[in-house]
Amino acid sequence: MTAYALRRLAQMLPVLLIASFAIFAMVYAVPGGPVAVIVGENASPEEIAEVSRRLGFDRPMLVQYVDWLGRAATGDFGLSLHSRQPVAHLIGERLPATLQLALCAILIALAIGIPVAVASAVRPRSWLDRVLSGWSALALGVPTFWLGILLILLFAVELRLLPSASRYVPLWAAPLEALRSLALPALTLGVYVSGVLGRFLRASLIGEARADYVRTARAKGVPERRIVGLHIMRNALLPFVTIVGLMMANFIGGAVVTEAVFTYPGLGRLLIQAITTRDYPLIQGCILVILIAYMLINLAVDMLYAWIDPRIEYR
């Protein structure tokens, strides 16, 4: 198992290399460098050239890339061009906010998704199943930014119960304030994920229910509740873990739109801000972190999978 993990980690390296180079090249090709933003509107061409030289943007791209890579390998992502703060520090500030939102959203999704899936899988094609499947379809189809707008209209504009904009408040620092701030964005994301989870879990529950071992158990007279609760659920949960992990991985950088609707200070918004200001080191740092997080979570999910289900062998 350890060997497997190590091999997987080794496989991640080329992907990271290709990705970081691709991103570097792409960002490099973007018109409108960062220098103009740094020097401000009233700068002279000489000043622009000078700043460009000082920051090393006049060197060939490949040289800049190797230079950056060498330092990134030691954990030094450089300084943000815009704020002159260490990139690692900026990312470190946003990561907890992103994780907190992702976790809350997943919890909401589980709270909605599991009951929905179980209730509809117990009697497939019943009216209840149709209604609940409809819910899953709706949760998946409604764009998060539209749902966000509707929630703001209802809870902030009409009822004035919750803020339409969210801040990051650590849950342990001020739980109530944090929940108030998190409620709408977490609900928005959670509803979407509940659709994914609900639909997925229902399919695998129904699939498992048709499996041979269930038939055997029934024939043996094992109580139905025990069959569903123990056998079916346990086996259906396996692929379910994968999906939850994937969703989590996606949220590290992919909740941008929800973050934008509620102006939540997550990693995705930091990256967007970096792209608009052409903050090269920040863009590269953010993307690298998002990639690594994605891959590590994927790996963790696979390991967990093996731990739950010893039948899976790793060659």
Partner 1 sequence: MMKLSRRQVCMTGLALAGAAPLLAAGAAAAQQLKGGTLRVAVLSELANFDPQQLSTVNFHVIKNLYDSLIEYTPDGKPQPGLASAWTIAPDKSSVKLTLRDGVSFHSGAPFKSDSVLATLQKGADPKRGKNVFSTMSIVKDWSAPDERTVVINFKAPAPERQILDLLQFLIPIDPKGIDTVETIPAGTGPYTLVNRAVGQGLTLKANPKYWREKQPIAQDLVFTVFSEDAAATAALESGAVDIVYNGSSRSAVRLKGAGYQVFAGPGPLVQVFRINSTRGPFRNKSFRQAFNHLMDRASILRVGYAGMGKVVALPWAPASPAFDEGYTKAYAYDLDKAKKLIAASGLSADEMKGWKLLVNGSDEPSIAISQIVQGSLQKVGIPIELDMRQGAEYVTALLGGDFAATFGAVGNVQKFPSRVTTNSIYRTSGNPILKDPHPHPAYVAAIAKVDAAAGGEAEVKAAYDNLNRVLVDEAFGIPTNSYDVGLIVASGKIGGITLDIDNLFVARTIGFK
Partner 2 sequence: MSEALRSLGKLLRRLAGRRGPALGLAFLALVASAATFAGVLPLDPLAQSIADSLKPPSAESWFGTDELGRDILARVVYGARTSLVTACGAVLIAGLIGIPVGLVAGFYGDWRDSLLMRCVDVLLALPNVLFAMTLIAVLGRSQAAALIAVGVAGIPGFARIARAQVMALRQLDFVTAVRSFGGGPGYLMFRTILPNILSPLVVQAIVLASIAILLEAALAFLGVGVPPPTPSWGEMLRTGKSYLYEAPTYAVLPGLVLTLTILSLDTIGRALTALLDHDEAGMPAEAAGGRR
Q: Which amino acid is at 174?
A: A
- Among partner 1, partner 2, none, the one that 145 touches (CB under a kind-dependent 5 to 8 A) is partner 2
Residue 55 near residue 33, CB atoms below 8 Å: no
Position 112 contacts partner 2 (CB under 8 A):
no
Q: Which amino acid is at 261?
A: V
Considering only residues 11 to 50 of the shown chain, the ones binding partner 2 according to CB under 8 A are 14-15, 18-19, 22-23, 26-27, 29-31
- Most distant CA atoms of the chain, gap in Å: 86
Residue 274 near residue 287, CB atoms below 8 Å: no
Among 149, 179, 241, 299, binds partner 2 (CB under 8 A): 149
Tokens of 101: 């939102």
| Cross-strand pairs, 79 | 86
Among 55, 72, 90, 249, binds partner 1 (CB under 8 A): 90
Q: How many CA atoms lie within 13 A of 107 on its CB side?
A: 10
Position 203 contacts partner 2 (CB under 8 A):
no
Site string for partner 1, 49-68 (x = CB under 8 A): -x------------------
Q: Is 148 left (phi over 0), alpha (psi -120 to 50) or beta?
A: alpha
Site string for partner 1, 267-296 (x = CB under 8 A): --xx--x-xxxx------------------
Residue 186 near residue 222, CB atoms below 8 Å: no
Position 96 contacts partner 2 (CB under 8 A):
no
Q: Which stretch binds partner 2 (CB under 8 A): 44-52, 79-87, 103-111, 271-279?
A: 271-279
Of 240 and 294, CB closest to partner 2: 294
| Cross-strand pairs, 86 | 79
Q: Is the dihedral of CA 197, 199, 200, 204 positive or negative?
A: positive
Of 29 and 73, CB closest to partner 2: 29
Of 50 and 155, CB closest to partner 2: 155
Position 170 contacts partner 2 (CB under 8 A):
no
